[in-house]
Amino acid sequence: MSTPPSSSPAASVLDLAPVVPVVVVDELADAVPLARALVAGGLPAIEVTLRTPVALDAIRAIAGEVPGAVVGAGTVITAEQVGEVVAAGARFLVSPGWTDGLVDAMRASGVPFLPGVSTTSEVVALLERGVREMKFFPAEAAGGTAYLKALAAPLPQARFCPTGGIGPASAPEYLALPNVGCVGGSWMLPKDAVAGRDWGRVEALAREAAALSAGGTSR
Ligand SMILES: O=C(O)C(=O)C[C@H](O)[C@H](O)COP(=O)(O)O
């Protein structure tokens, strides 16, 4: 899988990068060095979750100051947030779940988006709405690779970014599935490394994650 240069508009979140780091930014000052470490390690697509008060500013800072990063917003759960994050520079949108109103707002934004699903009926409902790419969340708790494999038989047109509980040991098995385009996870951002501003360690873990996803399979 190739990663487009950051200037290319992406039609799909799943084609940005095989591993998408899911980031919780507590300190705004950490946003740019953290993103630089991820990009330097080979993970350009970065999902900043809207779980902290500084998340919007973090998206703005990364979008403006980190060449090579493709910053997106995660935990987007309202239509209002869609407008805010796109104005801040988010280039993709991710949600742990979905509603009709949220999907309408995400589609109207013009940037690629991944609503979250964890059941077959949700997949069918989104396919009915013309959405074929989804976050599978919480991946490990909702059935993991066995569930995704089972979905691929009746619903091969749906493609997923599994996220939730995935680590370096399990990521390759997900990435080998035909209906998985990328995986999301926070394992390359251990809490103690971020708290200690150990960006070298983050970069090294990002590099391992990028290599994991590139190797070992015929994708
Ligand atoms: O914040 C959101 O919108 C979420 O849906 C949750 C995140 O995707 C997971 O928390 C990441 O999973 P871990 O790799 O297990 O940390």
| Complex prediction ipTM | 0.94
- CB 185 less than 6 A from any atom of ligand 1: yes
Q: If you measure from the C-alpha of residue 99 to the centroid of ligand 1, how many angstroms do you get, rounded to a whole number?
A: 18
CB-count burial class (<10 Å; 0-12, 13-18, 19+) for 108? exposed
- CB 186 less than 6 A from any atom of ligand 1: yes
**Cα(159)–Cα(182) distance, rounded to whole angstroms?**
9
Which pLDDT value is given to residue 137? 98
For 107, the token pair is 């589609």
- CB 213 less than 6 A from any atom of ligand 1: no
Contact yes or no for 17/43 (Cβ under 8 A): yes
**Measuring from atom 14 of ligand 1, which residue has the nearest CA?**
185
Pairing of strands 133-136, 116-117: parallel
- CB 184 less than 6 A from any atom of ligand 1: yes
Q: If you measure from the C-alpha of residue 110 to the centroid of ligand 1, how many angstroms do you get, rounded to a whole number?
A: 24
Using CA atoms of 172, 3, 76, 190 in order, give the dihedral in degrees to the nearest 10. Answer: 50
Which pLDDT value is given to residue 13? 87
Q: How many CB atoms are located within 10 Å of the residue 16 CB?
A: 27
Residue from 13, 22, 23, 106 to probe ligand 1 pocket by mutation (most atoms less than 8 Å from CB): 22
Which pLDDT value is given to residue 182? 96
Which pLDDT value is given to residue 218? 37
Q: If you measure from the C-alpha of residue 130 to the centroid of ligand 1, how many angstroms do you get, rounded to a whole number?
A: 25
Residue from 137, 160, 174, 188 to probe ligand 1 pocket by mutation (most atoms less than 8 Å from CB): 137
Which pLDDT value is given to residue 185? 98
Which pLDDT value is given to residue 110? 95
What is the chain's pLDDT, residue by residue, as a tens digit (219 residues)? 344 444 445 678 898 889 999 999 999 999 999 999 999 999 999 999 999 999 999 999 999 999 999 999 999 999 999 999 999 999 999 999 999 999 999 999 999 999 999 999 999 999 999 999 999 999 999 999 999 999 999 999 999 999 999 999 999 999 999 999 999 999 999 999 999 999 999 999 999 999 986 544 433
Which pLDDT value is given to residue 1? 39
